[in-house]
Amino acid sequence: MSAADILRSPDVEAWLARSVAAAEARGLRELKPLLESLARSLQALRDADAEFGHPALPDPDDHAR
């Protein structure tokens, strides 16, 4: 997967695959478990977009009106 691929499709699974491959290419195999843990945190952060009131997402109050 190229850097362009990850930018076109930056889902967490693709991000993790790309990051692990890049780390291994740099001789940093030990990073893999840390990146896997970070991927879980990343997913949680992205899942919180609505909770944090991302401005491009519908405001729950809009439906109530």
When asked if residue 17 is in the footprint of other proteins (CB under 8 A), the reply is: no
SS3 content of the chain, % helix, strand, coil (to 5): 65, 0, 35
Distance (Å, rounded) from C-alpha 26 to C-alpha 49? 32
Number of amino acids touching other proteins (CB under 8 A): 22
When asked if residue 57 is in the footprint of other proteins (CB under 8 A), the reply is: no
- Provide, rounded to whole angstroms, the least separation between the CB of residue 53 and other proteins: 7
Give the x/- contact pattern for other proteins in 24-43, rule: CB under 8 A: ----x-xx--xx--x--xx-
Distance (Å, rounded) from C-alpha 12 to C-alpha 21? 14
